[in-house]
Structure 1
């Protein structure tokens, strides 16, 4: 009996000790940490990395840090594909050989990708900066060199300050007159007071108006002159006129097609559109090529260090 009571007592003491013991206060296991390391950014044309990956950690090729062997194999395959296609990354600016060959096309593709939501503006800006930097280096893109704005003379600054002081004084005066009417003043009473103030201070208002005009003229005279763009050569004018004529001809043909489509059935429309595209395919390609040639000729003539490419 005594032994059973003793055993019961021991179990109770041991149980209370186990349940009252505090859990260990150590640091959380790194494997279960919620801190996410920044993921490496891969070239856009690689697509998305594999979703299902192994748990191991290895050195990733291409200086992408560390990751799973699945990710490493995926990176290696993409790098090998790029090399096979002549897109080996350049060590200095990360620009591919293909992008160097036709940077304007890549530039257009990136801008289109932004519009379609395939790439973020931040990523696009980084890619465009690298491409445009290379274009500037090769003389394919001319950055505008804007003339510096001249500093405002002390005389003009004094005129500006004087006008501000006069405007401030008049504002305070008219505000005081309106407040003197009291909170119960009607809208009509306020209007009469303001109109009377304008009439009594007509000369001061004219003075402010003339001062503003004089300041504007001074600033305008001090502005740097805008660079004049050269006129198109006669050869270029002829090319542009020929291009316009071909586009007009194509436009007239399209108008005629739309006119004929109105009374046609669904099947007839489909056949007519297909036939039109086939018949005018060469003309369309010719117009496209000619437009590109004219654009490049104009760009070469018009672009200077003081003009913007976006104006073209």
Structure 2
């Protein structure tokens, strides 16, 4: 019996030792590799999104999910905004998969991408409005004629420039033009100077009328001529509820009156103001004909 017991026990202990030797060691839990957000970024859009903070090598899947999380408006050009860590964690509260995958720094500095507005862009906007209003010299206007008093920063590759006013320069030399960027409402309107006079096309008919004791010249484009180029009296406005056809009919009846006085003398310099939706252009011209109340003249 002893021999049988010994022979049976030896293989059992050998099998136990062999299984312990060949058993694989338990692997430690793998640590998830977090993606560190950048601590300084330059936003290209008006709204800062979490995708703007990702590094360049972030996966497309992660970038798509982060692009749906908005972090507020981007700062204006030249201004910086700081995003705090707690602010980002609050934004990630509803997306735990992103929160666990990202390493958020204590603070992130956000700037806005911008570039200086060029003279060529301003010249093209002025040339466009001059052609639309039949002003002479539109094709000969050059970028070198445009002068900036200070640099204008834009945040788009192709900003939508709009001319809102054209008038003689304050120093009497050249013309100054007021513009604004319709696609960037946060940028305030600005003035530029054109080192040349901008005059209307010769032969544009002007219909004169007396209103509130001043001489005005309304046309289909709401043109007004006021004697005295050196005066600073504001231009008169045509009521919006009165159509040009009705006004023209009334002024034609007044023009037939023989006792109508001459309100504009031939050869006299007048101020011409053209107003339209979103634009007001002021310039000077010389009356080629004497103008009576309600009469069309050439300037």
What TM-score bracket applies, with the shorter chain setting the length?
A: under 0.3
TM, length-normalised to structure 1: 0.20
Higher helix fraction: Structure 1 or Structure 2?
1
More RCO (CA 8 Å, sep 6+): 1
